Structure 1
């Protein structure tokens, strides 16, 4: 264990959640130590026990390599203690935030207060404790209602966003840019910041072991956790919102990305930022391929070996017909691309859901 002292330590906010837990697996496997901060409002601490099992850490190794603090980012004194007691952080991957699109339209103030306020406190403490590298969990929702596909990083952001969740992501991108600019103007300070804005499309799937996966509270907001709950018998049928869109089968088309590919993008971004030493970098994280709702249901039926019932309902307000990424820039600049296709997404999702029909409960 003597070699571990030279290892870099990554602070992961929201690390017990879906994308966070999968990213931690890869960080640990690729030699990083990880400190997790999570308030467990929409996640379970047991996900880290599963991560420990996947990576094969014994309890002694875990004490050094994977530490957990149940802290809300909005609680500045508690977060400060994490910075004071912990090792020096080489970088932060910032997943923490409320993320239910529908809910955000009903309780917008809570979303703004939590997602923005927590990030402000995090950035101030990072600056104070000399951690100047952050990978931010953003979203394709920042593009709003884009008609022309595929979406490149140069498409304007901020206009036509249909919900408060998406607007918090857009606002935080702007905050991070302004914050970055303020640090480059300060000539007395030797420190320079690196910021990666990672715009996710639709993360699906699970770790191939079936030990960790998406574990939504209550009724899932996203298509595939809902489909997998129908597949496992927890719900009777899926409601498809609209089948009269201008798409091959009339149902909405989206860019789905395997969570393991997405997790790898974060680890790649950390390495990339280390080499760059300063700058703000924006990447779309998607496959570049759009699949319809019906495509996803059929692929999941194949993975689980039986039919998945669905009914067609009215369109959902704010939904667009088609949305998929142009992932060229991430491939050329970041050296990352999605490797896993629809079959692997559904196979791994079914492995998780069939092993854990009630999630982590």
Structure 2
């Protein structure tokens, strides 16, 4: 079966392609290379022995999307990662996020709607919950007003998919994941942010390797045990495997509804200072950091209740925080030639 992975050379997309190819799927990857590199294709090939078909295409180009689907009418499923993904950047440049995250989704769905049947996996986010009132967060938690444009694009994206599924032959699974970190254990692929990292772990590893002078910790006055924000950090390989399981559920027509929603996380919350301490343990070195002002768009705490994914999908995160940080550090050292 041929599977389309949009944003396929990105962090989560590339790891998902590895798991798809390991399961025997033929993969077409689309990416505009705005936050990724062609070298990722070589990494995927080294791990799996096979290079996916690659199309450099910007999904904001509606005509290009239409032409792509005309030439590839035998696609059995789509996993849609293509999106801008940094909370802080979205606050500074909201229109970029609305164009990139909403328009691209609409153009892909317009083409899938033309098919007799289509299977669609959406890369959603725990940011749709805003600051949830109860921890851990279940899929039934109320959707709070978004705190960032990024979170809002994921809320709007989910609404669009739900409305389209009602009136078309598209079946969809929305995967709301928490904070993906780490890299493939081979260190052939990993997180490769362009410019200054917007996420915690690549900033930690870049500081550890000496690329950054010190790490900024945004606020230590939150109502948490150590005053820093709490998140649920999930190993990217565990996350990738969940996408393949969800895709098979749709392909085998095991879904009970036209649209299903699952949280993907570990179920454990870790503060920023706990992540720093865990990194210092696995890397055996002291990390330079300083406390700075809170960052707009950040919530206090978010960690998942994963009972639904554990029970219905039969999926469970296997790696610990230290496992994930160790793989991220191994990747950072490799790409810096250390």
TM range (shorter): over 0.9
Gap regions ≥5 residues in structure 2: none
If the length of structure 1 is used for normalisation, what is the TM-score? 0.90
Q: Is the counterpart of residue 210 in structure 1 residue 187 in structure 2?
A: yes
Please give the per-residue CA displacement for 1:249-279, whole angstroms capped at 9, x wherever unaligned: 2211110000000000100100111233651
* Structure-1 residue corresponding to 2:204: 227
CA offset digits 1:47-85 (Å, max 9, x no partner): 11110111123xxxx4xxx10000111212222232232
- Deviation larger for 103-112 or 218-227: 103-112
Cα distance in 2 for partners of 1:221, 1:154 equals: 29
Deviation at 1:151, TM superposition (A): 0.5
> Which has the higher mean CA deviation after the structures are superposed, 278-287 or 21-30?
278-287
- 1:242-261 correspondence to structure 2 within 5 Å: 242-261=219-238
Structure 1: gaps of 5 or more residues:
1-7, 184-191
The residue number in structure 2 matching 1:35 is: 28
SS at 1:136 equivalent: strand
Aligned residues: 336
- CA deviations on 1:196-232 (whole Å, 9 max, x unpaired) are 0110100000000111111111111111010000111
Superposition CA RMSD, Å: 1.6
Q: So what's the TM-score if we normalise by structure 2?
A: 0.96
Deviation track 1:118-162 (CA, whole Å, cap 9, x = no partner) reads: 1111011122244511000001110012132110000111x3211
1:123 aligns with 2:116: no
Match of 2:307 in 1: 328
Cα shift readout 1:82-125 (whole Å, capped 9, x = no counterpart): 22323611100000011121221222222112211111110111
Match of 1:132 among 113, 118, 138: 118
1:303 Cα deviation after fit: 1.9
Superposition deviation, residue 193 in structure 1: 2.3
CA distance in 1 between partners of 2:190 and 2:116 (Å): 33
> What is the match of residue 48 of structure 1?
41
Residues 346 and 256 (structure 1), Cα distance of their counterparts in 2 relative to 1, 3 Å cut: same
Aligned equivalent of 2:178: 201
Equivalent positions of 1:296-315 (< 5 A) are 296-315=275-294
Range moving further from structure 2, 22-31 or 306-315: 306-315
**Does 2:254 match 1:276?**
yes
Q: Residue 282 of structure 1: SS of its match in structure 2?
A: strand
Once structures 1 and 2 are overlaid, which stretch shifts more, 288-297 or 119-128? 119-128
Check conservation: 2:184, 2:237, Cα contact below 8 A: yes
Give the alignment partner of residue 237 of structure 1, picking from 214, 223, 238.
214
Q: For 2:301 and 2:130, locate their aligned partners in 1 and report how far apart those are by CA, in whole Å.
A: 12
1:167 to 143, 152, 157: 152
